[in-house]
Amino acid sequence: MDSFIFLAFLTGAVRAASCPGYRASNIVKTTGVLAADLTLSGNACNVYGQDIIDLRLLVEYQTNTRLHVKIYDAALDVYQVQEHIIPRPASQNVSESDAALQFSFEEEPFSFIVSRSDTREVVFNTTGQELIFESQYLHVQTALPSNPNLYGLGEHSDPFRLPTERYRRTLWNAESPFIPRNSNLYGSHPVYLEHRGSSGSHGVFLLNSNGMDINIYKEAEGQQYLKYETVGGVLDFYFLAGPSPLEVSKQYAEVIGLPAMMPYWTFGFHQCKYGYWDVNMAAEVVANYSAAEIPLETLWGDIDYMNLRQDFTTDPERFPLHKMRELVQTLHQRSQQYIMMVDPGIHRAQNYSTFLNGEESEVFLKSDDGSNYLGGQWAGEVVWPDWLAPNTQKWWRNEFATFFDPDRGIDVDGVWNDMNEASNFCPNVTCNTTQFDDPSVFPIAPTTPPRNNTGRPIPGFPADFQPENGSDNKLGRRQSTNGMMKGLRDRDLFNPQFTINNHRGAMSDGTIYTNISNADGTVQYDTHNLYGVTMVMASRQAMLARRPQARPFVLTRSTFAGAGTHAAHWFGDNNSTWADYRVSIAQLLGFSSIHQMPMAGSDVCGFNGVADEKMCSRWAMLGAFMPFYRNHAVIDAPFQEFYVWPNVTRAAQKAIAARYRLLDYIYTAMYRASTTGSPIVNPLFFIYPSDQNTFGIDTQFFYGDALLVSPVVEDYSQSVSFYLPDDVFYDFWTLEQIQGTGANRTLDNVDWNDIPVYIRGSTILPLRIESANTTKILRQNDFNIIVAPGKDGKAAGSLYLDDGESLEVENSYSDIRFSWDSKTFTASGNFGFATSLIVKTVTILGEGGPITQQGPWSLSGQFEFTLS
């Protein structure tokens, strides 16, 4: 933080210090519930707006481990996140004496403390700084122990364990090329986990979608604080008791929802590039992957396929519809998949049916004079779907049904929503949107002619697979309804006095202007951070309408708390640099273990800039141990498909073979995530919560809960020093036993197609006997079970099996529990999935090397054996 910003920060603090705070009265307690009035206890200080005089406090002991503390305006005018976007968890009204967390408060000036019932440890403490609740500014802070271990607070490219001095997290979804450090990026998740080692972990979720700064800082005397400053909304806190980090994660999922179960095939390897010029080039990529013997599961279509960059159209010259249908048909015949991009900006063109249909259904955001609110996106001058308007879902569903029609359109397997922060090419309010339709100012159509592939057959594709010859913006808003939690009137929705530290500039810069209202009477000022998640909710429903039986796959760039229940996420437009290779691990840890978005990963080999062979070799291997595994690059980046370089080819072949053999292990972890909230990817401290050495580690991680991945992280290095907890491990590649000592281990000469991966003792892993070139073929392969005994000689694990794609599997699934007690191996549990697959071998690891027991054992019922 530079000194200028820090000065501004102190000025705000000084102004806030003179506020009167609130007085609690009319305190009513019933079982599990405490309610009170909070009244401003002095003259309004109006730091950044009007103080709200009458508030209410509601405290609910919702479950034994969850405390809900809500402070809101008595008139219910202030905006609250719509229930259909984030359904609120029900309260079980447990009695205080049964609750792990206790709420206590001071009446005047009002402040509160949340503490643990058993140890009295204080987890949240607002004493000492008056609560400020204004029309456009909320301020509340908690004292923390010194050097706290804090994780979460939305998408960023900073260390996983957050800095604790002069550190600011801004939550305001923004287009963020090159994922700048210390900045707000694409996703807002106002939740953190604080880990205090042996005294436990807890979580704090503030259900508030308004723009905010969260400051983590230390006073001169050394006292540590975390301070929230928002530009609106209410203080709606959920405190999660843990006490283990894993339990915090699960308790957060109880609040915002369990992540969506993903189709089996989505764990395959994906390839995309902005800049596949025509359908032939795209087909060639598929053929080249096959020729290089690198399994490709899914081809992606970026905006290149569109006619004039318009959603739901294809470029008639480069991507003619019948060729696209052939492409998808061929992919499907080869048991591969196809995914396409759909952006929110809808071209305002009178000959464009998607726009005209939307006009007729009144689905677009409006300026206050009732005209369409305009902006700029890839197609040119665009209008914006209002995801809160009554007809938007129907319109969106119809556009999907038509364009993605299996019989006449493009039968996609998944959909990709980009630009949904929303990203507006208008930098600020002085924007002339007409310019985006002026090709001399904003050339949107590709300038290079389609490639001439005549005479060059594409292996695996039909022989004739060849290309064809080939207003002023009104500011303001509609009147919103007063009351009903839709937002206070008479606010400056454009230039709030309190400015958050948005790296794009003012709140409206580069996005939909914040004073635009939604059809339900709310305003973008309050709902901006929900634009992306409401879009993917609509896309998910539209995909379900096409294929009602199939689990939808939607990838989103913009997220908010709870987005994992609808979609997967990638970390946006990173750089092809070693720094962003490293940071992808910290980002994955945040999304998987804190934000409940387990299906996540970075653009492998980086999006912007030039990837080189060594870096891409390392990244191809690292990405194979992340749930979402996709190589993607920008239009002006050189090709970086894995087959481009010999060493990357070898690295990818090896990594994908391992990933595919492990696919059911990670699919089982996905199933657990979607049913219990346990993360797919675990930070080391989730597994070793009392080992302090693990708290800051963000260049290693557990893939599932059994595989410790410790990639080489330094630029162009072949050495790595990584932490190995005091436990038994086994090298995944050689199966050799390795004793961890709670110290670092150094490996030199790590080849360009190698990545250190260790199996943690006390786990059991199901592996497919061999890999395959697609996940469909992989699913026909039998299993080898690896038993990795722990210090006590015992181990446990599980295998979940279903058809890999049904939305509702009913009873057709198996959830098989494996255990090893140092002599006997047992497989028991539920065997509802009809299968002829078998366990061919069970390999028991140990000090003296692996022992392999030959099967076969059927996977349709229990079995056990004892080693003599």
* Burial (CB count <10 Å: 0-12, 13-18, 19+), residue 38: buried
Select the span of 37-45, 75-83, 260-268, 285-293 touching ligand NAG (CB under 6 A).
285-293
The residue (of 106 and 803) whose beta carbon lies closer to ligand NAG is 106
Whole-number Å distance between alpha carbons of 163 and 826:
46
Give the other-Cβ count within 10 Å of 820's Cβ. Answer: 24
199 makes contact with ligand NAG (CB under 6 A): no
**Active site includes 612?**
no
Binds ligand NAG (CB under 6 A): choice among 222, 370, 443, 455: 455
Binds ligand NAG (CB under 6 A): choice among 53, 75, 85, 122: 122
Binds ligand NAG (CB under 6 A): choice among 491, 566, 614, 659: 614
Select the span of 46-54, 159-167, 424-432, 665-673 touching ligand NAG (CB under 6 A).
424-432
Q: What is the DSSP letter of 659?
A: H
Closest CA to 701 of 606, 795, 586, 616: 586
290 makes contact with ligand NAG (CB under 6 A): yes
194 makes contact with ligand NAG (CB under 6 A): no
Closest CA to 536 of 508, 572, 564: 564
Cis amide prior to 462 (ω within 30 degrees): no
**Strand, helix or coil for residue 279:** helix
x/- map, 732-761, ligand NAG, by CB under 6 A: ------------x------xx---------
Enumerate residues 632-661 that contact ligand NAG by CB under 6 A: 639, 641, 647
Least distance from ligand NAG to the Cβ atom of residue 619, Å: 13
Enumerate residues 769-798 that contact ligand NAG by CB under 6 A: 773-774
The residue (of 539 and 699) whose beta carbon lies closer to ligand NAG is 699
Residue 860's Cβ-side half-sphere holds a number of Cα atoms within 13 Å equal to 6
Least distance from ligand NAG to the Cβ atom of residue 392, Å: 23
202: β partners: 194
Q: What is the DSSP letter of 823?
A: S
The residue (of 141 and 592) whose beta carbon lies closer to ligand NAG is 141
**Active site includes 490?**
no
Select the span of 250-258, 361-369, 431-439, 825-833 touching ligand NAG (CB under 6 A).
431-439
91 makes contact with ligand NAG (CB under 6 A): yes
The residue (of 122 and 550) whose beta carbon lies closer to ligand NAG is 122
First to last CA, the chain: 65
Instruction: Give strand ranges (E) for 725-794.
Output: 728-731, 737-739, 743-747, 757-760, 763-768, 783-788
Whole-number Å distance between alpha carbons of 406 and 408:
6
222 makes contact with ligand NAG (CB under 6 A): no
368 makes contact with ligand NAG (CB under 6 A): no
Catalytic residue selected from 134, 158, 229, 573: 573
Is-contact 180 216, C-beta < 8 A?
no
Whole-number Å distance between alpha carbons of 383 and 786:
55
Q: What is the DSSP letter of 855?
A: E
Is-contact 68 234, C-beta < 8 A?
no
Binds ligand NAG (CB under 6 A): choice among 427, 439, 457, 849: 427
* Burial (CB count <10 Å: 0-12, 13-18, 19+), residue 596: buried
- β-pairing verdict for 600-601 and 559-560: unpaired
Select the span of 260-268, 391-399, 546-554, 718-726 touching ligand NAG (CB under 6 A).
718-726
Is-contact 491 49, C-beta < 8 A?
yes
Catalytic residue selected from 418, 603, 641, 691: 418
**Strand, helix or coil for residue 250:** helix
Whole-number Å distance between alpha carbons of 651 and 645:
10
722 makes contact with ligand NAG (CB under 6 A): yes
* Kind plus residue range of the DSSP H or E element containing 191: strand 191-195
Catalytic residue selected from 421, 509, 641, 691: 421
**Active site includes 573?**
yes
The residue (of 515 and 774) whose beta carbon lies closer to ligand NAG is 774
499 makes contact with ligand NAG (CB under 6 A): no
Closest CA to 774 of 458, 418, 460: 460
Cis amide prior to 449 (ω within 30 degrees): no
**Strand, helix or coil for residue 365:** coil
Task: Compute φ and ψ for 534, nearest 5 degrees.
Answer: -70, -30
285 makes contact with ligand NAG (CB under 6 A): yes
Q: Radius of gyration (Cα) for the chain, nearest Å?
A: 27
**Strand, helix or coil for residue 377:** strand
64 makes contact with ligand NAG (CB under 6 A): no
Least distance from ligand NAG to the Cβ atom of residue 854, Å: 26
Report the interhelical angle of 613-623 vs 646-661 (nearest 10°): 0
Least distance from ligand NAG to the Cβ atom of residue 517, Å: 23
577 makes contact with ligand NAG (CB under 6 A): yes
Select the span of 7-15, 319-327, 451-459, 801-809 touching ligand NAG (CB under 6 A).
451-459
444 makes contact with ligand NAG (CB under 6 A): no
697 makes contact with ligand NAG (CB under 6 A): yes
393 makes contact with ligand NAG (CB under 6 A): no
The residue (of 203 and 380) whose beta carbon lies closer to ligand NAG is 380
Whole-number Å distance between alpha carbons of 257 and 238:
14
575 makes contact with ligand NAG (CB under 6 A): yes
Residue with tokens 């970075």: 602
494 makes contact with ligand NAG (CB under 6 A): no
Query: CB within 8 A of 83, min separation 6: which ones?
Result: none
Binds ligand NAG (CB under 6 A): choice among 183, 209, 271, 336: 336
The residue (of 80 and 288) whose beta carbon lies closer to ligand NAG is 288
Structure tokens at 764: 């059991």
Binds ligand NAG (CB under 6 A): choice among 198, 447, 469, 749: 469
- Secondary structure, 3-state, 533-592: HHHHHHHHHHHHHHCCCECCCEEECCEECCHHHCCEEECCCCECCHHHHHHHHHHHHHHH
Binds ligand NAG (CB under 6 A): choice among 93, 471, 717, 866: 93
33 makes contact with ligand NAG (CB under 6 A): yes
495 makes contact with ligand NAG (CB under 6 A): no
432 makes contact with ligand NAG (CB under 6 A): yes
The residue (of 44 and 122) whose beta carbon lies closer to ligand NAG is 122
Select the span of 377-385, 449-457, 525-533, 816-824 touching ligand NAG (CB under 6 A).
449-457
Is-contact 268 232, C-beta < 8 A?
no
Least distance from ligand NAG to the Cβ atom of residue 642, Å: 11
609 makes contact with ligand NAG (CB under 6 A): yes
Residues touching ligand NAG, count (CB under 6 A): 55
- Region for 749 from its dihedrals, namely left if φ exceeds 0, alpha if ψ lies in -120 to 50, beta otherwise: left
The residue (of 73 and 284) whose beta carbon lies closer to ligand NAG is 284
351 makes contact with ligand NAG (CB under 6 A): yes
Binds ligand NAG (CB under 6 A): choice among 172, 660, 723, 833: 723
- Secondary structure, 3-state, 473-528: CCCCCCCCCCCCCCCCCCCCCCCCCCCCCCCCCCCCCCCCCCCCECCCCCEHHHHH
Select the span of 89-97, 354-362, 482-490, 661-669 touching ligand NAG (CB under 6 A).
89-97
**Which residues lie near ligand NAG (CB under 6 A)?**
33, 91-93, 113, 122, 125, 127-128, 143, 178, 181, 223, 281, 284-285, 288, 290, 334, 336, 349, 351, 427-428, 430, 432, 434-435, 438, 441, 452, 454-455, 469, 575, 577, 579, 608-609, 613-614, 639, 641, 647, 697, 699-700, 721-723, 744, 751-752, 773-774
- Could you list the active site residues? 418, 421, 573
